[in-house]
Structure 1
Amino acid sequence: LNMILLIGVKLFGKDVNNAKRWFSLGPLGTFQPSELTKIIMIIVIAVFLVKHENDLNEPKTLGKLAICCAPPLYMILQQPNLSTTLDICFIVIAMMFVAGLDSKLIVRVLIIGIPLMVIFLWYVQTPGQILLKPHQVARIMTFLHPENYADSTALQTNNSVMAIGSGGLFGKGFGSNTISNVSASDVNLVSERQTDFIFSVVGEEFGFVGCVVVMAVLMLLVVQCIQVARKADSLLGTYVATGIAAYMGFQSFINIGVATGTTPNTGLPLPFISYGLSSVLSASIGIGLLLNINLQGKRY
């Protein structure tokens, strides 16, 4: 089902800003299959980890897991949607860690991975690189050298930070945002304020206190996910709850990081706060699974 949806959106999806990520649902809006992929992958990987509880660290098992993950990740990457691809990778890694991934293997990956990351960042800045698309390179360069892109690709992030700062301690009040409201000025100050940059609106309207409250609620949600994972009556429940915790935590961290300029600009919604049918639907399914796991633990 997951692959059918991803192939279908590639063939018949709605093209927006040179990306095919959505099915058009007419008056109901659009549906983004990659959001549902997060939940499907959590379930699939959880089942895989249960079946390979005793041989997870064997190369053959890790190879099977990579083959299992590769097709949907490749299809999402081709939309193109690098942020969701990395999001799912992080979720899978978190689940593998809880499942008992060998710490020695993690150290080896870090020893090899960190130098490779440095080489990768150097390579994508060279003319003629073929690994990333131009807009992806622009986002990395903007994060590394924001002063050189203050009037172009860094403008949105800079204005987002300015909007958050303008809210002060208690904010300007609900609905009174002027900097993060595109329609309130002649220039496009903070585009996508309803999704990727929703936190800039929170900061401007509700100030520092509002930002702290939102982050505290999201952190509490992640902590509750972890608590359910610890108390689950089965390994399957533990892994699914862990995946949901990683899903909520990583997306919250990246969305807030983008809005505050502490991470490269990339598009991930803030769970239950950003506008979007697909995001709210997938997050709601995740919480539904979490509640079910919690009930099963209490029953027995």
Structure 2
Amino acid sequence: MLQRRKILQYHTNKYNIHMYNFRLVLYVWVLSIIGILVINSAADGFAAKQLIGFVGGSVVMIIFSLIDYNYIAKFEWYLYSINIGMLIAVKLFGISVNGARRWFSLGPFGTFQPSELSKVIMLIIFAHLISEQKEKINSLATILRIGILYVIPMFLVAWEPDLSTTMVFAFLFCTLMFVGGISYKIIGAILGAALPLGGILIWYIQQPGQILLHDYQLNRVLSFLNPSDYLLTTYNQQYNSIMAIGSGMLTGKGLDNNTITSVKGGNFISEPQTDFIFAVVGEELGFIGSCVVIGLILLIVIECLRIAKDARDMRGHLVASGVAGIITFQSFVNIGVATGILPNTGLPLPFVSYGLSSLLSNFICIGLVLNVGLQRNRR
């Protein structure tokens, strides 16, 4: 404990408190408080836990903001080993829900989802690896080496199965490689190959006997492609979500709305406090409240990108850009699912959806970004 205090004090003394981005902290806190209020309105018994997660997450954020991200990156292979071990352990010993093993049971404290922490670990490790290889980033050997190391934990997440988090991993990898300076020629070649392959993939998964997707995943894709055929089954959740958002109109029905026609009172959406939290936002806070939530997310992303722009090294630039990428992708997918513009998939809305594992990982990410900002003028 004494050694930890010395390390924290050492790193704290190197920073100028006037460089601390309190604006980013304010945006995160306001969005999180809105999330707690909406969660309390969406379902009973979750807001108190989310409040505890908010307080604990804020403490963790502050701690990580005062520890040099370069110091954390020194333990890359230890972190990588822990990450692999954690993802294997949850598949072997985790609790099973609807055929997926993604969580460890923590008894009265709820559950822990390792893939959420894994996102943070992957961000730190590969920001470090890419920054170390920035002069060789366009080398085929470098791309393959980094890609293979990245695919291993991503495969373990897909094996749980957790397709939505796997997509976050894939997007994070693309973000880090793009920011790391991969050639536009390589990007063009990949896109040129990906577009026709994507078309073939969409055709293949609709064929009898396809083996790429589980039945529930396939039904979600098919219901998105043909919503009228699945209106009373798979697409029902998204349809009700769209109706709920539309019913909020300009100013919404107000928090804690419990009428028979509401999401909560009518029980039209299962687990509205998590994946479909934006339906509750739209219904109870209306168009104005929805714009406020989206605006706060946008401001958080902008602050992360500003810090990335002024980072003192490539590693910090990648860390802050990666966090911006994670928040952007998860927000776009969550809101896209709730509004029916994307197939149904389970990704939380950052700082708004209920989920202590997600909330904690998001706060750690913001802490890392704050630390990058604290060092932006150092040489």
Q: TM-score, normalised by structure 1?
A: 0.97
Flag the structure with larger Rg. Answer: 2
Instruction: Point out 4+ residue stretches in structure 1 off by more than 2 angstroms.
Output: 177-182
Q: Which residue of 1 aligns with 2:374?
A: 295
* Structure-1 separation of matches of 2:129 and 2:270: 40
Q: Which residue of 2 aligns with 1:132?
A: 213
**Aligned equivalent of 1:221, options 295, 300, 316:** 300
The Cα offsets for residues 2-29 of structure 1, whole Å up to 9 and x where unpaired, read as 1111011011101111111000001110
Q: Which residue of 1 aligns with 2:311?
A: 232
Q: Which residue of 2 aligns with 1:46?
A: 127
The Cα offsets for residues 141-174 of structure 1, whole Å up to 9 and x where unpaired, read as 0111111101100000000000000001000001
Q: Which residue of 1 aligns with 2:290?
A: 211
Q: Which residue of 2 aligns with 1:92?
A: 173
Q: Number of aligned residue pairs: give it.
A: 297
Partners of 2:312 and 2:378 within 8 A in 1: no
Identity of aligned residues (%): 50
Matched, 1:200 2:282: no
Unaligned runs of 5+ in 2: 1-81
Q: Which residue of 1 aligns with 2:108?
A: 27
Q: Residues 225 and 180 (structure 1 numbering): CA distance in 2 closer, same or farther, change over 3 Å?
A: farther
Q: Give the CA deviation at 1:31.
A: 0.3
The Cα offsets for residues 38-90 of structure 1, whole Å up to 9 and x where unpaired, read as 11111111011111111111110111011111111111001110010011110
* Structure-2 separation of matches of 1:181 and 1:211: 16
Q: Which residue of 2 aligns with 1:181?
A: 263
Q: Give the CA deviation at 1:264.
A: 0.8
Matched, 1:67 2:148: yes
Q: Give the CA deviation at 1:177.
A: 5.0
Query: Partner of 1:129: helix, strand, or coil?
Result: coil
* Structure-2 separation of matches of 1:164 and 1:11: 40
Partners of 1:159 and 1:180 within 8 A in 2: no
Query: Partner of 1:273: helix, strand, or coil?
Result: coil
Q: Which residue of 1 aligns with 2:227?
A: 146
* Structure-1 separation of matches of 2:378 and 2:185: 38
Unaligned runs of 5+ in 1: none
* Structure-2 separation of matches of 1:284 and 1:180: 31
Partners of 1:180 and 1:193 within 8 A in 2: no
Task: Write the letter of the residue equivalent to 2:243.
Answer: M
Partners of 2:312 and 2:375 within 8 A in 1: yes
Query: Partner of 2:101: helix, strand, or coil?
Result: strand
Q: Which residue of 1 aligns with 2:193?
A: 112
Partners of 2:241 and 2:269 within 8 A in 1: yes
Q: TM-score, normalised by structure 2?
A: 0.77
* Structure-2 separation of matches of 1:67 and 1:177: 50
- Report the aligned-residue RMSD: 1.1
Partners of 1:161 and 1:259 within 8 A in 2: yes
* Structure-2 separation of matches of 1:177 and 1:205: 10
